[in-house]
Amino acid sequence: MGILNKYAAASAALLCLGAIPAHAADLVEAPVVEVQQFGGWYLRGDIGMSNQRLGKLDYFDFANAQQHGFLDDGDFSSGITGQIGVGYQFNDWLRADVTGQYRGKTDFSALDYYSNPSLGQYGTNDYHAKKSEWLFLANAYADLGTFSGITPYVGAGIGASRNTISNFRDDNILNAGGGYAGEASKWNFAWALHAGVGIKATDRMTIDLGYSYVDLGDAETGPAYNLNGSTRNQPFKFKDITSHDFKVGVRYAF
């Protein structure tokens, strides 16, 4: 083989080798990029149960008794909560929403005692009432990473609560007395701490299992009346109402 033929053969071989990777690359599929079909906005809806606590029931006349205390400090039954809201998912780690929640009526009961030995007065008061709220919060959440479609999160919210006390009764059985008070509502600053998990159901829908600790502030009755109709034009005050809430809901992105 002549020298020119040798060079020609070598050049052809190099060209063939250069073409092999190009053809091999054509056989490898390009990665499929999933295009997001919706923005970061989402709607949410939740239902749940409240588990509420009362810091203190107070009335101005308690201080006038020579001895006064509570045999039962007072507490609320559990109640149903229902919530709707709209939010925005900023990225994989941060989202925020605003929510409006109705907290259904719960029953309240408490029992105190009083005595005025110098006047020969002794007795107890059995208190009953109902309570409900409207709660409005602006919330921010940190999503802590997704594991097999499950995303744990923590969050916090601030806003306002409109607390309503109704059907207040005071039964003084030992002395065949008692009283009542009318319905009243009170606006308060409110705040909450949240934790839970989001479970991805579809590309757009997430099931939310959550817990919230909520500080609802205070509430009060209308002016209290004795059974004979006399009044000192003072309300009973429900101080430091808090709640441990558990809820299940859906977040739907669009």
Could you tell me the domains of the chain? 39-253 (2.40.160.20)
The pLDDT value given to residue 176: 80
The whole-angstrom separation of Cα 251 and Cα 150 is 14
Q: Read off the amino acid at residue 32.
A: V
- The tens-digit pLDDT sequence of the chain (254 residues) is 444 344 344 444 433 434 444 444 444 454 443 344 445 999 999 999 999 999 999 999 898 888 999 999 999 999 999 999 999 999 999 999 999 999 999 999 999 999 988 877 889 999 999 999 999 999 999 999 999 999 999 999 999 999 999 999 999 988 888 999 999 999 999 999 999 999 999 999 999 999 999 999 999 999 999 998 899 899 999 999 999 999 999 999 98
Q: Tell me which residue of 32, 19, 28, 77 sits closest to 51, measured CA to CA.
A: 77
For 95, the 3-state DSSP assignment is strand
> 149 and 200 in contact (C-beta within 8 Å)?
yes
With a CB cutoff of 8 Å and minimum separation 6, the contacts of 100 are 83, 84, 85, 134, 135, 136
> CB of 151 within 8 A of CB of 143?
yes
Q: What is the pLDDT of residue 39?
A: 53
A 10 A CB-CB count for 204 gives 13
- Give the whole-angstrom CA distance, residue 195 versus residue 10: 70
pLDDT at residue 27, as a whole number: 40
Phi first, then psi: what are they for 24, rounded to 5°? -65, -40
pTM of the model: 0.81
User: How far from 81 is each of 47, 86, 106, 192, CA to CA, in Å?
Assistant: 6, 17, 11, 15
Residue ranges of E strands in 144-236: 150-172, 177-181, 184-200, 205-220, 224-226
Nearest CA to 41 among 96, 103, 110, 89?
A: 89
Quote the pLDDT of residue 185: 98
Going from the C-alpha of 197 to that of each of 80, 209, 213, the distances in angstroms are 21, 6, 16
Residue 35 DSSP code: P
Closest CA to 140 of 97, 84, 88: 97
- Only one residue has tokens 């239902």, namely 47
